Structure 1
Amino acid sequence: MTVVVRPAFALLVLIAVAGCSSERHAAPRPSRPLVIPTPSPSPTGKPRPARPGTECGQVTTVTGAQARVQVVRGRTTCVEAMRVFEKYNDPDTPAEGTAGLVVIGHWTCGTRGGITTCTSKVATIRTHS
């Protein structure tokens, strides 16, 4: 009787044997439970929409001056307005042309006469001194 062993089968057997033999000599690893931290709730809760005329805070412009952030039209949150103007005034944010045009998310921003205005489909926000 002749036994035929295919090379691929022999290779699989050798790999399986090698894998089993290495487990016998490996040091046992201590098992630690996986701990997933629970996120803490926001102290302010959900941001409230700001109405036209709302002053949201101050940002430092690229020239170093302080400017007040205000909601002009529509409704957005002050958190969103501050985030947009902080990004706009970041020196690493590239601006185009003399108006300093920048698109930040769904906002289009530009500066004219010292006033920076950002518009979206639902709101307009601006900075002024």
Structure 2
Amino acid sequence: MSFLQQQKLTEFKSNTQSNPIVRRRSKLAFKVEEQIRLAVDSTYRPTKIVWNRDIDGNQHKVEQPKRMRCWWTEHTDGGVQLTVRYGSKPLELGKGKTAIALNSKEEVEPTLRNLKLAVLSGEFDTILTQQVGITKPLPK
């Protein structure tokens, strides 16, 4: 008996109608993961591939570091404020509150890890839906 005769075959149906909430959730989780890497290693820079022209006009691909901003700011008293950003805008975590107050920079990484778990479990779905809006199309 051949391999294909042993398998249950079906017609492939592409999942083109992906849920926008799930896409936003995974996008935010990916960005939180980048911030975790940045908190652990301050020299971390993700890279992107861009097309450049040389002097002769020939195009070639070049790998460049992406510009990244930290989501946290340190204050002179040692305290840290951590914002959660979706795109370029900070998310409103509570009414009029856009930052998480931390006692020191050492708390940034564990807080970001817990934040990622909260994002993946769906705790930020209502915040994303309210602030970003469900009607805007997301780039794939």
Q: TM-score range by the shorter chain?
A: under 0.3
Q: Which has the higher helix share?
A: 2
TM-score under structure 1 length normalisation: 0.20
TM-score under structure 2 length normalisation: 0.19
Q: Which has the higher strand share?
A: 1
- Greater C-alpha radius of gyration: 1
